[in-house]
Chain A
Amino acid sequence: MTAIDTAREALSQALAPERILSDPLELSLYARDASMFEGGCTLVALPLSTAEVAACLRIARDHQMFVVPRGSGTGLAGAAVPFGDTLVVATTKMNQVLEIRTEDRLAWVQPGVINLDLVDELRPLGFTFAPDPSSQQVCSVGGNVGTNAGGPHCLAYGVTSSHILAVEIALPDGAIEVFGSEGPEWPGYDMRGLVVGSEGTLGIVTRICVRLVPLATAVRTMLLDFTTVEDCAATVSAIIAAGVIPAALEMMDQLVTGAIENYVHAGYPTDAAAVLLVEVDGLTESVEAQATAVASAAHANDVRNVRVAETEVERELLWRGRKSAFGATAQIAPDYHLHDCVVPRTKLATVLTDVYEIVRRNDLKVLNVFHAGDGNLHPLLVFDRREPGALDRVLQASEEIVRLCVQAGGALSGEHGIGLEKRDFMPLVFNDTDLGAQACLRDAFDPGGRMNPQKVLPSSARCGDHIALRGNDAASNDLPEGTWI
């Protein structure tokens, strides 16, 4: 019996044989996420409870296997892609909303609960869970915690970390801890804050206490269209400078609106160089005032049309367009590579100009559809990977875009995470000492280096020699030979 066989046997006993996958075809389904990377794993476990997750981690430890946690697999940075002798622990079957307490404005959920299912369950109660990534129909709350997910409405409501009160986590040795509290503060360091956005490298979140936000009384959605990208970008800054923080402020350029119109007929003007989808919410009176301020900021920057959604149907259609953008790209090319850099929003116009130039130089096409209010760019490079050299050109342009954003004073990722995709770019924004401190944070949770190795931190990042936290069995951070991109 091999070590894998004994691990499978132990897992089958701890969980149930039908919830341990080892058939090559089944395993292949867990070799990828929504990024361009492809790996492979030896076993997949589908636990139902906290205790089963803890058992998975103990068995993995006893059999020297690495562990990669996985939610719905919609991550775009490769954080859920496994390599080598790895146990993938997928929390998709832990999909119960355990408790909703509107009087405390909180809910406890299992990590596999789908974001939109939770939102739908909360709506009749007058509340919502604010993070709304574009994948919210399929992504899980556990995955949202893993990536500190964003979404259009995070401009006004904040990213996932602002909406997580507490997490129950199974640590790599199988110990269970609760970090955070049902109250707004807690004893000790903010280990909750470290777990949120840690991309499955610190443990596996088994229960989540989310903060509920009251639904806004009124909402207004506007579509502003411009004849130049520069005017559109300048309007973004002008709106913020006017003291208005819209609930959402999304920018789309002409290639995107054209693709969307062919696909869902959202009513976007296809002859505009760029459009802004702006949503303001709050009290009826404040919505009125914000909408007026938005319109005057736009007029000061030569907006061509200001269209206000008159009905709920029209509003939903405008949003369906935005949320279908990535699907719509398939008309242009079969593959895409989506970026997620952040730049200071006053530099949007110049950075976009440079992005277009980089793309032109590399003989590619780019669609820009992004959270402009946050300065969170999403250049979407579309290509056909069957075309010789296309992938190389995409990777070349990607690196140039990353360097451009960093030079503009930005960050590598606003909401998708670092994963594998941006791991080796980390030294562009952090020095060795900074990365060493990050390695210390990681080692405090996972001294054995068993959780989702190779992700987030480059192999050079080591906690200082003076701090002996890392065990002798630490994982090598190098990617195995033959990793597919």
Chain B
Amino acid sequence: MDLIHPPSKGDVVEVLRSASADAQRVLIVGGRQHMDKGNPSEIDAELWTTQLDALVSYEPAEMVAVVEAGMRFADLDRILSAGDQEWPADAPGDATVGGIIAAAVTSPRRLRVGALRDTVLEVELVTGDGRLIRGGAKVVKNVTGYDLPRFVAGSLGTLGAVVQVALKVRPRPKSRRTLIWRTDDAIELGLRLLEKVPSPTSVLATSTSVEVRLEGWPDAVAAQTRAAADVSRDLGTTDEGAFPSRAPWLASPIVAEVSAAPSRLQAVLAAHAGSNWGALVGVGIAWIGLDSEEALARLRDEVAVDAIAPVVKGPGGLGASPPAPTVHRRLKAAFDPAGVLAPGRFWGEEA
């Protein structure tokens, strides 16, 4: 297998142009942090984006950072912290910005920070046949043409190689706190906390605990803490460290990400009482630790149609899926006419 490590956008254009001409199948690789998302794909070459890691512009008063897509998340976070701001992806430090966007990573703080795709203001993308295209704009609000940035978010490198992005960033919280309860009935407690605690940043229920993340002005965090204590006094508090404090599902050989209407998630989790899991209450995302591919197959049977179970860790990918709608197939054909980008990796595609 070839390893291609282009130093410039122009080189990415050349690489993909000739890959399409030669029917060379290519996997776009950033920091290798989300490789299990999507189905396994047979490829002839890996295209590494990590040399495209320049900061293009960052003006804190604009709340916009423009970076090349191969920049590591930790490097971006360091740059933004100088402006007391953050891009709230909460991804591993080695992950690249482009990889995080292509994988549409869900932050554990999604209840407050929203969907990752909503933070992508502009993308530059090299399509499968080597066209460098740009969509969106470097301003926080824009409806000029079709929404290419959101379209590319979550496409797992099957539409093109993201080479540069403009990101909407946000102020770093003035203060932060995690409240922790030990409980066997985490969803029920999580729902009560969601109802009673005003504007939490996250309510994470796990197989054995509830963690509530609070972020904001110190007085507000204090008031939120009091409201949480009114719901259940039996809590531990930490103002230090990462959120969540523990993610036991990550210890399992396979971790599946489930997305469904929040109330529907409860039934799915009840069927996995013996597993390690974490669920974003009020959001509808859960990560379920699984022991075997048989367990993953059973989970897929349980969550059909509007709930997906991409694997974020371990074998299994997206699994079998219904055929993609015609529009979906046409879109793929328009951006990757020779079908060289990770064939079969994405939903509804034949390998």
Question: What is A's interface to B at a CB cutoff of 8 Å?
Answer: 101, 103-106, 147-148, 150, 154, 158-159, 161-162, 171, 175, 177, 181-191, 193-194, 196-198, 214, 216-217, 237, 240-241, 243-245, 282-286, 288-290, 342-346, 371, 374-376, 409-418, 422, 426, 429-431, 433-438, 440-445, 447, 456-457, 463-464, 466-467, 469
User: In the complex the two chains form, is A161's CB within 8 Å of B118's CB?
Assistant: yes
A412 nearest in chain B by CB position: B144
B60 nearest in chain A by CB position: A241
Q: 10 shortest A-B CB distances, which residue pairs?
A: A193-B150, A285-B219, A286-B220, A440-B334, A243-B171, A444-B330, A411-B137, A183-B259, A185-B259, A182-B261
Q: In the assembly, what is the distance between CA of A177 and CA of B64, in Å?
A: 35
User: Can you give 28 A-B contacts (C-beta < 8 A)?
Assistant: A103-B262, A150-B141, A154-B141, A158-B114, A171-B327, A185-B154, A188-B348, A189-B331, A190-B117, A191-B327, A191-B328, A191-B331, A197-B146, A214-B199, A241-B61, A243-B174, A286-B217, A342-B137, A343-B139, A345-B140, A374-B139, A409-B138, A411-B143, A413-B143, A418-B143, A426-B145, A437-B131, A437-B133
B250 in the interface (beta carbon within 8 A): no
Q: Which residues of B contact A106 (CB under 8 A)?
A: 261
Q: Which residues of B contact A375 (CB under 8 A)?
A: 139-141
How distant is A151 from chain B, measured CB to nearest CB, in Å?
11
Q: Which residues of B contact A182 (CB under 8 A)?
A: 260-261, 264, 284, 306
How distant is A163 from chain B, measured CB to nearest CB, in Å?
10
Q: In the assembly, what is the distance between CA of A448 and CA of B62, in Å?
A: 41
Q: Which residues of B contact A154 (CB under 8 A)?
A: 141
Chain B window 258-275, contacts with chain A (Cβ cutoff 8 Å), 1 for yes, 0 for no:
011111100000000000
- Tell me which of A183, A344, A435 contacts B261 (CB under 8 A): A183
Q: Which residues of A contact B48 (CB under 8 A)?
A: none
B63 in the interface (beta carbon within 8 A): yes
A169 nearest in chain B by CB position: B327
User: In the complex the two chains form, is A282's CB within 8 Å of B220's CB?
Assistant: yes
User: In the complex the two chains form, is A466's CB within 8 Å of B337's CB?
Assistant: yes
A414 nearest in chain B by CB position: B141
Q: In the assembly, what is the distance between CA of A456 and CA of B257, in Å?
A: 37
Q: A283-B224, A375-B140 are in contact. Are A158 and B147 (CB under 8 A)?
A: no
User: In the complex the two chains form, is A411's CB within 8 Å of B147's CB?
Assistant: no
How distant is B132 from chain A, measured CB to nearest CB, in Å?
7
Q: Which residues of A contact B307 (CB under 8 A)?
A: 181, 183
Q: Which residues of A contact B321 (CB under 8 A)?
A: 187
Q: In the assembly, what is the distance between CA of A147 and CA of B143, in Å?
A: 8
A347 nearest in chain B by CB position: B62
Q: A105-B282, A181-B306 are in contact. Are A414 and B154 (CB under 8 A)?
A: no
Interface centre among B129, B137, B138, B154 (most CB of A within 10 A): B137
User: In the complex the two chains form, is B143's CB within 8 Å of A197's CB?
Assistant: yes
User: In the complex the two chains form, is B137's CB within 8 Å of A438's CB?
Assistant: no
Q: Which residues of B contact A244 (CB under 8 A)?
A: 171
Q: Number of contact residues on B: which range applies?
A: 35 or more
Chain B window 201-223, contacts with chain A (Cβ cutoff 8 Å), 1 for yes, 0 for no:
00000000000000011011011
B109 in the interface (beta carbon within 8 A): no
How distant is A339 from chain B, measured CB to nearest CB, in Å?
13
User: In the complex the two chains form, is A184's CB within 8 Å of B284's CB?
Assistant: yes
Q: Which residues of B contact A467 (CB under 8 A)?
A: 333-334, 337
Chain B window 48-62, contacts with chain A (Cβ cutoff 8 Å), 1 for yes, 0 for no:
000000000001111
Q: Which residues of A contact B317 (CB under 8 A)?
A: none
User: In the complex the two chains form, is B150's CB within 8 Å of A190's CB?
Assistant: yes
Q: In the assembly, what is the distance between CA of A410 and CA of B137, in Å?
A: 7
Q: A285-B223, A375-B141 are in contact. Are A444 and B306 (CB under 8 A)?
A: no
User: In the complex the two chains form, is A194's CB within 8 Å of B144's CB?
Assistant: no
How distant is B157 from chain A, measured CB to nearest CB, in Å?
12
Q: Which residues of B contact A445 (CB under 8 A)?
A: 327
User: In the complex the two chains form, is B142's CB within 8 Å of A411's CB?
Assistant: yes
Chain B window 72-93, contacts with chain A (Cβ cutoff 8 Å), 1 for yes, 0 for no:
0000000000001000000000
Q: A194-B147, A412-B144 are in contact. Are A103 and B137 (CB under 8 A)?
A: no
Q: A162-B118, A185-B154 are in contact. Are A240 and B145 (CB under 8 A)?
A: no
B26 in the interface (beta carbon within 8 A): no
B324 in the interface (beta carbon within 8 A): yes
Q: Which residues of A contact B337 (CB under 8 A)?
A: 466-467
5 extra interface residue pairs, beta carbon distance < 8 Å, beyond A188-B348, A189-B159, A371-B141 = A181-B307, A184-B283, A413-B142, A414-B142, A430-B135
Q: Which residues of B contact A464 (CB under 8 A)?
A: 131
B345 in the interface (beta carbon within 8 A): no
User: In the complex the two chains form, is B325's CB within 8 Å of A177's CB?
Assistant: yes
B27 in the interface (beta carbon within 8 A): no
User: In the complex the two chains form, is B220's CB within 8 Å of A438's CB?
Assistant: no
User: In the complex the two chains form, is B334's CB within 8 Å of A345's CB?
Assistant: no
Q: In the assembly, what is the distance between CA of A183 and CA of B257, in Å?
A: 12
How distant is B77 from chain A, measured CB to nearest CB, in Å?
17
User: In the complex the two chains form, is B144's CB within 8 Å of A418's CB?
Assistant: yes
Q: In the assembly, what is the distance between CA of A181 and CA of B309, in Å?
A: 14
Q: Which residues of A contact B348 (CB under 8 A)?
A: 187-188
